[in-house]
Amino acid sequence: MERQVLLSEPEEAAALYRGLSRHPSLSAACLGPEVTTQYGGQYRTVHTEWTQRDLERMENIRFCRQYLVFHDGDSVVFAGPAGNSVETLGELLSRESPSGTMKAVLRKARGTGPGEEKQFLEVWEKNRKLKSFNLSALEKHGPVYEDDCFGCLSWSHSETHLLYVAEKKRPKAESFFQTKALDVSASDDEIARLKKPDQAIKGDQFVFYEDWGENMVSKSIPVLCVLDVESGNISVLEGVPDNVSPGQAFWAPGDAGVVFVGWWHEPFRLGIRFCTNRRSALYYVDLIGGKCELLSDDSLAVSSPRLSPDQCRIVYLQYPSLIPHHQCSQLCLYDWYTKVTSVVVDVVPRQLGENFSGIYCSLLPLGCWSADSQRVVFDSAQRSRQDLFAVDTQVGTVTSLTAGGAGGSWKLLTIDQDLMVAQFSTPSLPPTLKVGFLPSAGKEQSVLWVSLEEAEPIPDIHWGIQVLQPPPEQENVQHVGLDFEAILLQPSNPPDKTQVPMVVIPHGGPHSSFVTAWMLFPAMLCKMGFAVLLVNYRGSTGFGQDSILSLPGNVGHQDVKDVQFAVEHVLQEEHFDASRVALMGGSHGGFISCHLIGQYPETYRACVARNPVINIASMLGSTDIPDWCVVEAGFPFSSDCLPDLSVWAEMLDKSPIKYIPQVKTPLLLMLGQEDRRVPFKQGMEYYRALKTRNVPVRLLLYPKSTHALSEVEVESDNFMNAVLWLCTHLGS
């Protein structure tokens, strides 16, 4: 058995972090075409993409690895790797053509000037690069979108064209006092061209362009672009309504047009990252006549349309409420030929027994259809787990593919010709890569999974799920009977359990959740001898729509009471050291943590808060999601209304800043100066209030970091400083 690291040994903590941070995670996978050997055997290649922290280079690196899967049509006969991993440099997007004979790659490369980047769209065939287009030099549009909100790279069914989303080309601008020397040797035509008034617009250098918020600061006006692979001609599609921004596009049946999601951007853009409630709809634009047709309800929000293999139907996620930023969704089906839309899976208000609790994924996998175009496969949080599900689109039945398994969490990477590629992990097991065939309808629970890439379990971590029922006085009167859960990690065999300190971590959002998957920080803390409590308070995803709707208007109360109840319950049941309990939370988790040290100052000896919401009222005018402030405070949001004094008073009343006079817990603040979601001035407001009252507080300000604080240099510094803070204030 490995010796657990003592709290007083930061050098060993750094070594432990270095070791565990090397475990990579899967980011994507695709399947190559079916190959039949000369002996009649069948196999497919699995191309996988991974990410890993590199502490020497202080960056996240991306690499790929291929595997071979031999099968007999409905089960895997043999599977294994085909060579070693290779780092993929500069790849932003990649997509195999429908036949698998070609691959498109969007790649970035350094330009000649300082900080300048170029983008190339490459087409690969067999062992050669067939085509390479310098998109930056062609100047048909701005940078290509590589994000998962708008971005796409889609082959036409004929494999002659590529569809993608890019920033609309902006007019050149210059100072009123900009002068250009004319070349006296230039021809009259060249001089006339230089004198053209539309070359640059004077005085427009500093015109403000709205963007889509956190992690989307360079993205403002997306356009749909089509590349003719043979000629190299690029065209920007016309016909998209002026009031929407297009994304998530793909080719319609027959390549006669393009289907896309259009997001409303009037009267102004709101942050879109992690916000599935942005008003949007499904559209079809005809490439011949340029006519645009609405395919879905335009008063709701939609996401990730996926065309069936037989090109007859489109399945997509639809969010019936524009209020919570994330929620339970509907699975809708649009029949391309009858033009009839049906709801295949509806919103689930509340889970009944062990039944399905609803769909909570924000995106469907690019490959999600069964070979017969009848079933759709996806992953979704179900309480504190994440499972795989198959939905029969004809009758709407939902069947779990992974229930009753090892208790960890699953993520579907792709399915093609019924061969599924998935990731599995647990809080003590880093990500593993598995493949298996989707069984025939009615036999979904008999998937035979085969591992392509195993990970070694991390020893000395014991974990489980705690089911918690709030006491009667904490019931939500509008949503009575809701329960919630917490995931507890603890050292397997501590010498004395009563000496084990506990770190409590509420998640951010608030409408998100922890699932029983691999998480670096909790595993690290547990290996160092801490018990770690991850709380899915009421309002978390995975527990039914009622749970989500119970929280807006009750933040700062219901979520805080739930976490405190979980802490007291676990301390009573597990007998950890109640005098050494600490908090660690980010965003809304930081909001809850700062509430707890104000409302229950005797419980917590230390607190670490990352980009916490401190004052909802003051955050309203500076965040990229002002609707969040209004909705979570319990009011309806409208873009044209200004809150009155009573609304601001209610926001202030629900904020941690209210409880400043009671705070005495030492606090470590970690703030990203480029955070657009919870601007760093929120943390500064708290820091100054605590400094004035002589409460021990330390502030780490990361100048180039955003809300997630996920850059490798920042994240590693976060962890080590958090560990030292806990060691200092909890004691060894």
DSSP code per residue over 297-319: -TTSEEEEEEE-TTSSEEEEEEE
Q: What's the start-to-end Cα distance of the chain, in Å?
A: 21
| CATH classification code of 461-505+546-731 | 3.40.50.1820
Do residues 527 and 515 lie in contact, with contact meaning Cβ atoms separated by under 8 Å? Answer: no
Return d(Cα 332, Cα 344) in angstroms, integer: 5
Print burial letters for 32-61: b (CB count within 10 Å at least 16), e (below 16).
beeeeeeeeeebbebbbbbebbeeeeeebe
Distances in Å between the Cα of 53 and the Cα atoms of 60, 98, 120, 342, 716 are 5, 32, 26, 44, 10
Residues serving a catalytic function are 587, 675, 707
Q: What is the pLDDT of residue 184?
A: 53
Q: What is the pLDDT of residue 354?
A: 76
Give the pLDDT score at 198: 58
CA distance 414 to 432: 15
The token pair at 299 is 């008063």
- Fold classification of 237-347 is Neuraminidase (2.120.10)
Q: What is the pLDDT of residue 645?
A: 92
Mean pLDDT by 10 residues, the chain (732 residues): 47 92 96 90 95 96 96 91 94 95 95 86 95 95 96 97 97 86 57 58 92 96 97 95 97 97 97 97 94 96 98 96 93 97 97 86 96 98 96 95 86 98 97 96 89 96 97 96 97 92 98 98 96 98 97 98 98 96 98 98 98 97 96 93 88 98 98 98 98 97 97 96 93 70
What pLDDT is attached to residue 329?
97
Do β-strands 42-54 and 25-31 pair in parallel, antiparallel, or remain unpaired? antiparallel
SS3 667: strand
Q: What is the DSSP letter of 444?
A: G
CB 278 within 8 A of CB 263: yes
What are the boundaries of each domain within the chain?
Answer: 91-174+222-232, 237-347, 461-505+546-731
- pLDDT value for 1: 29
Residue type, 43: Y
The token pair at 223 is: 């356009």
Is the sign of the CA dihedral 383, 387, 388, 389 positive or negative? negative
Residue 315 contacts residue 322 (beta carbons within 8 Å): no
- To which residue do tokens 């990352």 refer? 610
- pLDDT, position 189: 60
Q: How far lies 40's CA from each of 79, 457, 469, in Å?
A: 17, 38, 58
Helix (H), strand (E) at residue 718: helix 712-730
Q: What is the pLDDT of residue 186?
A: 56
Report yes or no: 549 and 357 within 8 Å, Cβ to Cβ. Answer: no
Condensed to tens digits (0 to 9), the pLDDT of residues 327-381 reads 999 999 999 999 999 999 999 999 877 789 999 999 999 999 999 999 999 999 9
